Amino acid sequence: MDNNPTIAAIATAPGRGGVGVVRLSGKNLLPMAQKLSGGKTPQPRKALYTDFVDVEGTVIDNGLLLYFAAPASFTGEDVIELQGHGGPVVLQMLLQCCLQLGARLAEPGEFTKRAFLNNKLDLAQAESVADLIDASSQSAARMAVRSLKGVFSQEIHRLVDDLITLRMLVEATLDFPEEDIDFLQAADASGKLDHLCIQLDKVLRQAQQGALLREGMNVVLVGAPNVGKSSLLNALAGDEVAIVTDIAGTTRDTVREQITLEGVPVHIIDTAGLRETEDVVERIGIERSQQAVQQADVALVLVDQREGINTTTAAILAQLPAGLHKIEVHNKIDLTGEAASSVSRETGDLVAFTDASQVIALSAKTGAGLDLLRQALLQQVGWQGESEGLFLARTRHIQALEMAREELANASLCQNNQIELFAEHLRLAQNALNEITGEFSADDLLGVIFSRFCIGK
């Protein structure tokens, strides 16, 4: 059996559109292209305007047929793109036609997976394809493109190259044991190692900041009825030029909002909206949101400056996970005549009602102090305020970089008479880095990564 059968999928989003695309990848697709176009022979990389016909010769649609001959294609195989009219029925008919001609339905991410297996992309680049499609802000999209074009991978390759140079030095010494005395000084192995650590720390920092832009932060909004939670949510969302999403199923009160602060996605959940409902449909959403509370990075504890904490708020606070960072927000200062302020608990002259590390006085109504809150949120998750030069890294990339960093730290602890151990730590560091670009990856990792793609990509 052919272990790389021809695959086909509708590549455009479901629904209606001006143009819809069916994509095929496989070996030797020219005969299929000829059949689909009713006997015409497409030139590679030239648009062919043609009828699309089924196996009986009936015209299904007309449009453009693009034929890419291997290896000059996205997947590295022969690729055909049928650009027809973008209706769900006509696209299904086109797809069925391809299946009748011997293709099978593509799995999610299978085109990109083939591109990876045919060395068209490395793993970090392949992941950035999905990240680009999923990007929820302009800065996320820009970073995904940078990774797709290989900037992140180049950074990793540079580290690996330096590591290899150092390893060759060390391995050479291992072959001539009588020379290993003072080797580490003579070849300045430790100087080279220090340099590597500095480089790696820099990439790690860029990746961690980028991961923030990718994953964003989760914020829960806590407070008694009428303290101004909905008003604050609207104020934060309303000022935003970026996309604001109302998640479906939260019709009574907005329970969830997504805003972006300096490009960092911030998911805010109003926990009081959750507690008040008796509705069955909303209950389902609540359970989902309660999980989100468990994953929250920050809790905003909202109080009416004039009233302080009441028993309702105290009860909600008691349910929050221990150790969750809290910012206490004193709302409605327009009614008390106070100025907006942001102070840390230790130094502040605002009385904190909770063990929150930061207290902010603001008015959701006038907007005074909102900027202080935004800054406090970004500070809480360690955002350093520059989005240029970052990498939209994934958790697995960060973990691999941290693993490599740890091995380098272990290597630097080795004494002169532990060269073999030194060499081993370097080898493990290199393996960790190679995992990022996929030069050293288990099959199950590939399965996990590509299964999260959409079909047709």
231 is in an annotated binding site: yes
CA–CA separation, 117 and 328 (whole Å): 51
Residue 231: contacted member of ligand GDP, Zn ion, none (CB under 5 to 8 Å, by partner type): ligand GDP
Query: With binding defined as CB under 6 A, does residue 256 bind ligand GDP?
Result: no
Name the minimum Å distance from CB 253 to ligand GDP: 7
Exposure of 340 in the CB half-sphere (CA atoms within 13 A): 12
Task: Give the chain's count of helices (H) and strands (E).
Answer: 17, 14
Tell me the window of 1-9, 32-40, 192-200, 361-369 that interacts with ligand GDP (CB under 6 A): 361-369
Scanning 151-279, the segments in alpha helix (DSSP H) are: 151-175, 183-186, 189-215, 229-238, 271-276
Build a one-symbol-per-residue string for 212-231: x at contacts with ligand GDP by CB under 6 A, - elsewhere.
-----------x-xxxxxxx
Name the minimum Å distance from CB 253 to Zn ion: 5
Give the residue at shortest CB distance from ligand GDP: 228
Helix (H, G, I), strand (E, B) or coil at 261: strand
Residue 325: contacted member of ligand GDP, Zn ion, none (CB under 5 to 8 Å, by partner type): none
Name the residue nearer to Zn ion (CB basis): 225 or 447: 225
Name the residue nearer to ligand GDP (CB basis): 196 or 362: 362
Among 112, 128, 147, 230, binds Zn ion (CB under 5 A): 230
273 is in an annotated binding site: yes
441 is in an annotated binding site: no
Total residues binding Zn ion (CB under 5 A): 3
389 is in an annotated binding site: no
CA–CA separation, 142 and 151 (whole Å): 12
Residue 137: contacted member of Zn ion, ligand GDP, none (CB under 5 to 8 Å, by partner type): none
137 is in an annotated binding site: no
Residue 335: contacted member of ligand GDP, Zn ion, none (CB under 5 to 8 Å, by partner type): ligand GDP
Query: Which DSSP symbol is given to 177?
Result: G
Total residues binding ligand GDP (CB under 6 A): 15
Beta bridge partners of 78: 26
Name the minimum Å distance from CB 367 to Zn ion: 18
Residue 228: contacted member of Zn ion, ligand GDP, none (CB under 5 to 8 Å, by partner type): ligand GDP
Name the minimum Å distance from CB 246 to ligand GDP: 15
Give the residue at shortest CB distance from Zn ion: 230
Question: Which pairs with CB-CB distance under 8 Å and at least 24 residues apart come from 128-132?
Answer: 128/152, 128/392, 129/453, 129/457, 130/452, 130/453, 130/454, 130/457, 131/214, 131/392, 131/394
Query: With binding defined as CB under 6 A, does residue 336 bind ligand GDP?
Result: no
293 is in an annotated binding site: no
226 is in an annotated binding site: yes
CA–CA separation, 222 and 372 (whole Å): 18
Query: With binding defined as CB under 6 A, does residue 341 bind ligand GDP?
Result: no
120 is in an annotated binding site: yes
Name the residue nearer to ligand GDP (CB basis): 194 or 276: 276
Binding to Zn ion (CB under 5 A) within 243-282 occurs at 253
Name the residue nearer to Zn ion (CB basis): 97 or 272: 272
CA–CA separation, 60 and 37 (whole Å): 10
Kindly give, in sequence order, each residue whose CB lies less than 8 Å from that of residue 199, ignoring residues fewer than 6 positions away.
158, 159, 162
* HEC string for 274-341: HHHCCCHHHHHHHHHHHHHHHCCCEEEEEEECCCCCCHHHHHHHHHCCCCCEEEEEEECHHHHCCCCE
| Tokens linked to 197 | 């650590």
Name the residue nearer to ligand GDP (CB basis): 279 or 386: 279
**Peptide linkage before 71 cis (omega within 30 of 0):** yes
* Residue 35: C-alpha distances to residues 65, 84, 162, 205 (Å): 12, 16, 52, 53
Question: Which pairs with CB-CB distance under 8 Å and at least 24 residues apart come from 134-137?
Answer: 136/216, 136/243, 136/258, 136/260, 136/265, 137/213, 137/242, 137/243, 137/260, 137/263, 137/265
Tell me the window of 14-22, 105-113, 327-335, 352-360 that interacts with ligand GDP (CB under 6 A): 327-335
Name the residue nearer to ligand GDP (CB basis): 225 or 321: 225
Pick out the residues of the known binding site for Mg(2+).
230, 251
Known binding positions? 23, 81, 120, 226-231, 245-251, 270-273, 457
Binding residues (CB under 6 A) for ligand GDP: these are 223, 225-231, 331-332, 334-335, 363-365
